[in-house]
Chains A and B, each alone.
Chain A
Amino acid sequence: MNRPGVYEVEMVKNTFRDLIYDPAFGGGVPGDRPVKAFIPGGVSAPWFGPDQLDLPLGQDEVGGQGSMLRSGSVVVLDDTTCLVRAAWRITKFFSRESCGQCTPCREGSGWIERAMYRLEHGGGRVEDLELLLDLCDNIAPGLTWPPQQTTICVLGPSIPSSVHAAIEMFKGEFLAHVDKQGCPFD
């Protein structure tokens, strides 16, 4: 963002577009790069695409579209961002965050993180996409919103959000990683 920061906005009155582009708030994307995706409410939230930029900043409005506003920390990903890498880094965060008590979160986060790392750094396989989605499903059955969970606490179903969204929204980018056996953005 041109003006990253913490902003107080009135609920529902403003949209994500306002927040990102209004000079009083985010002030637009550096270099006027197009928004590829954004995370509406913290890294545990499912991602949105540019067509959802006009959603109002409201819990129900965002919730109705299958994500959440919750922490209100909006992350904007422009077209220079590798979304495989972004999803991997988020998973890595959760894998380190996992307390390790329950199996799906402890082992699932580590497995997904390692598979994503492999995809990003060469070694990806086409079948990894299906595998990743299924591992996500074994943590948050049905990959619904609001999520169900096989874990003790809600850190578990936070893990699949980014990976699931990235695969759903940017399958081509994953396949490009497989084709190139590495990251096309490198």
Chain B
Amino acid sequence: MTETRTSVTVTVNGRAVEAAPGELLIDVAERAGTYIPRFCYHPRMEPVGMCRMCLVEVEGPRGATLQPACYQHVNDGMVVTTDSPKAKKAQEGVLEFLLANHPLDCPVCDKGGECPLQDQTLTHGPGETRFVEEKRHFVKPIEIGPLVLLDRERCIQCARCTRFAAEVAGDTEIAFAGRGDLIEVAPSPEHPFTSVFSGNTVQICPVGALTAKPYRFAARPWDLDQVESTCTQCAVGCRLAVQSSGDRLTRVLGVDSDPVNHGWLCDKGRFTLDAVDGHGGLSDPLDPRARITSPLVRRDGTLVEATWGEALARAAELLRAAGEADGGVGVIGGAALTNESAYAWARVAREVLGTEHVDAQYGDGLDPRRVLALPGATIDDACAARVVLTLCGDPREELPVLFLRLRGALVRPGHDLVELAVGPSALHPLATVSIPVRPGEAHRVVDALLDEGRAPADLALDDDARERARRLLGDGEGVVVVAGRTNLAEDPSVVERALTRLADALPRARFLVALRRGNVRGAIDAGLAPGLRPGRVLAAGGRDTRAQLAALREGVQRAVLVLGDLVGNVIDRPGAEAALERADVVVVTGHGGATLAHADVVLPAAVQHERAGTVTNLEGRVTAVVPKVVAPGAAWPDVAIAAELARALGADLAMDSVVEAARAYESATGYPALSVLLDSTSEGRVAGSPSAPVARRPLDPMAFPGIRSAEWVGLGESAGDRSPPPRWPTSPRPRCPRCPDATPTASR
């Protein structure tokens, strides 16, 4: 009987190291504490062995030869020396070659101070250059896309960017052109580099050849301070590092979270920092780019600045009056909040205002009572699935990094995609079977797929495709359905019915529900959904957003508390405006927007990167968000606003800090919160699944060449390191709770 080995022993610099067969030598050595310098190798991409920086001596039948460690799979008994004179000479030689044509730009280069080329020159390079010839020259820098600039003189031709584009994102917008030492990264002549993932190339470029417009010359890395947090631009919940210089946000970098984003971000998540400072201080409250920095109260038809005390009192007055009539008040919005804030607002709605009419979705989602009750799948489950069935909008547009993860799985053998094609989708080229679905017909197409016998002729289904899809789906074993709202014009019940049917017919299939707004899943879990109390406990009735807007128009509902920009996001904008026109409207928001044209009271809130808490991504994973900067003006975190509004209404939520709110949320729902908040750099926990300790990965493993410069800005954190304890305000309310009238300056 032959045994397959589960582990092999490799000798690295005289030390025996255990490894899995087939692991890459560069990883095995690093785990054992031996850092081998590298440029082209990236642990999330296929190795190519191009830059030759990782040459080490490997014993073989013909004696020791130089081999690239990133391209060498370990086998049992392998003997490796990484620091022999021969290996060191080869490494120094490669570095000297790389520097030959590299310009002396360090003092003006964005990468200076966190540059793997600088760092590895110090650790593994020759001391001095012997190059006296003229260096290669290119026009510098050229714009290859709206966000990315390329300085070809600085490029070391490692192909990380082009490989990311081709291998990870599936874009063809950048590729190498030319040959020899005139080889250059070149944008496609037809398409500028407009990929929604373009920022990743900047992050993984090991030199300053690729720079991102928003960060160019904005800071020096040693001036940056950072926290690890979670992106809330969509429901994927990518892990990221938010960096600031002083109190000015400067940059966002992807953090490698194994279950979620693998270090990648989309450009929406990476480049939206200017929203936080109101695009340089815009102040028109109707402009969605502006920040609201003071409470506003409508007097004689115009919104004017007010104190917190005045604004809270007015808001309480309006809501209390409306709430006296049965069904007179409701809450809309909240998908952009933290779980703790959403929970606080859910309690304000239910316990203080006494209403079940709450809905975090603007009518663009699915009924959580139906879709979140389906057996759930994680992103990893979907990527491991034998068959992925999609019934959703284009994931590259709506949930970009989910697209990257799915694409990464589907390009590998053993994974099939059955696409219920509701429109153009970037996943389409990867589909094994693609079945066109016209708006309004998804449930009928699913029925026809699953039923024996002939399909209704009007669906115009291809029999062969139907048969192949049916065979692939089987009884649902190994099938993950990625399901979302396919079409905003179509009634959500179409998809809901299709999903219910799939769950009935494929009892073993699991569902990844792609509700797409930032923390919509967390808001629903926390109780901001009609008919779902905190913890997704079914309750009676409750109007959803559409029903609330209708009730407002009919005058049945008199007031609404809006958490966010309802008018700017809702599908039926005129309908929403007509509804708000008649109603008393209290808006809690960090940003301006069309909703404020109808607001009677505006309460300014902290936004992402200004507030602490937890969020829940589409698969149910709870991770922490950590504030990096202070909210502008008099803006407060939502937890504090909810607690103070409750107080103004005569109730005490007993949530005077985020920690208190997290503890209350956790004990009310059973979902993780406090533990995640206190371990804010972890990869989080999926409710209900055991929390396995996860070895954290460095932000970019290459930025850890063994010297300090990368560590200073926190880039070199390696697995096992503990970063300083997370910093969030111990009280989200820096102002005195006894005298809410005090303005921030007066109270300090």
Q: Which residues of A contact B (CB under 8 A)?
A: 95-104, 106-111, 114-115, 118, 131, 135, 137-139, 141, 148-152
| Cβ–Cβ < 8 Å partners of A100 in chain B | 157, 176, 178-183
Majority-rule SS of A interface residues:
helix
Q: Do the beta carbons of B65 and A138 come within 8 Å of each other?
A: no
Is there a chain A Cβ closer than 8 Å to B465's Cβ? no
Q: Which residues of B contact A (CB under 8 A)?
A: 49-53, 55, 65-66, 86, 89-90, 93-94, 96-98, 100-101, 130-131, 133-134, 136, 156-157, 159, 176, 178-183
| Cβ–Cβ < 8 Å partners of A99 in chain B | 179-180, 183
| Cβ–Cβ < 8 Å partners of B89 in chain A | 137-138, 141
Contact for A111 among B52, B97, B179, CB less than 8 A: B97
Give the residue name and chain of the A residue nearest to B180 (CB).
A98
| Cβ–Cβ < 8 Å partners of B49 in chain A | 102, 152
Q: Do the beta carbons of A150 and B93 come within 8 Å of each other?
A: yes
Contact for B65 among A97, A114, A148, CB less than 8 A: A148
Q: Do the beta carbons of A106 and B157 come within 8 Å of each other?
A: yes
Q: How far is the CB of B163 from chain A (nearest CB, A)?
A: 12
Q: Do the beta carbons of B179 and A131 come within 8 Å of each other?
A: no
Query: With the chains together, A96 CA to B178 CA distance in Å?
Result: 10
Query: With the chains together, A118 CA to B90 CA distance in Å?
Result: 25
Q: Do the beta carbons of A150 and B183 come within 8 Å of each other?
A: no
Q: Do the beta carbons of B131 and A111 come within 8 Å of each other?
A: yes
| Cβ–Cβ < 8 Å partners of B53 in chain A | 103
Query: With the chains together, A82 CA to B746 CA distance in Å?
Result: 87
Q: Do the beta carbons of B133 and A111 come within 8 Å of each other?
A: yes
| Cβ–Cβ < 8 Å partners of B86 in chain A | 141
| Cβ–Cβ < 8 Å partners of B97 in chain A | 103-104, 106-108, 111, 138
| Cβ–Cβ < 8 Å partners of A98 in chain B | 179-181
| Cβ–Cβ < 8 Å partners of B156 in chain A | 103
| Cβ–Cβ < 8 Å partners of A102 in chain B | 49-52
Give the residue name and chain of the A residue nearest to B176 (CB).
A100
Query: With the chains together, A152 CA to B53 CA distance in Å?
Result: 12
Q: How far is the CB of B520 from chain A (nearest CB, A)?
A: 46
Q: How far is the CB of A141 from chain B (nearest CB, A)?
A: 6
Query: With the chains together, A118 CA to B66 CA distance in Å?
Result: 31
Q: Do the beta carbons of B180 and A109 come within 8 Å of each other?
A: yes
The 5 A-B residue pairs with the shortest CB-CB distance, nearest first, are: A138-B93, A100-B183, A107-B97, A110-B181, A114-B133
18 further contact pairs, Cβ within 8 A, besides A100-B183, A107-B97:
A95-B181, A96-B179, A98-B181, A99-B179, A101-B50, A103-B97, A104-B94, A106-B181, A107-B98, A108-B97, A110-B100, A110-B180, A114-B134, A135-B93, A138-B96, A138-B97, A141-B86, A152-B50
Give the residue name and chain of the B residue nearest to A131 (CB).
B130
Q: Do the beta carbons of A103 and B179 come within 8 Å of each other?
A: no
Q: How far is the CB of B187 from chain A (nearest CB, A)?
A: 18
| Cβ–Cβ < 8 Å partners of B133 in chain A | 111, 114-115, 118
Query: With the chains together, A141 CA to B180 CA distance in Å?
Result: 21
Give the residue name and chain of the A residue nearest to B94 (CB).
A103
Q: Do the beta carbons of B100 and A107 come within 8 Å of each other?
A: yes
Q: How far is the CB of A119 from chain B (nearest CB, A)?
A: 11
Q: Do the beta carbons of A148 and B180 come within 8 Å of each other?
A: no
Query: With the chains together, A15 CA to B381 CA distance in Å?
Result: 69
Q: How far is the CB of B420 from chain A (nearest CB, A)?
A: 42
| Cβ–Cβ < 8 Å partners of A101 in chain B | 50, 157, 159
Q: How far is the CB of A146 from chain B (nearest CB, A)?
A: 10
Give the residue name and chain of the A residue nearest to B98 (CB).
A103
Give the residue name and chain of the A residue nearest to B133 (CB).
A114
Q: Do the beta carbons of A138 and B90 come within 8 Å of each other?
A: yes
| Cβ–Cβ < 8 Å partners of B100 in chain A | 107, 110-111
Query: With the chains together, A114 CA to B136 CA distance in Å?
Result: 11
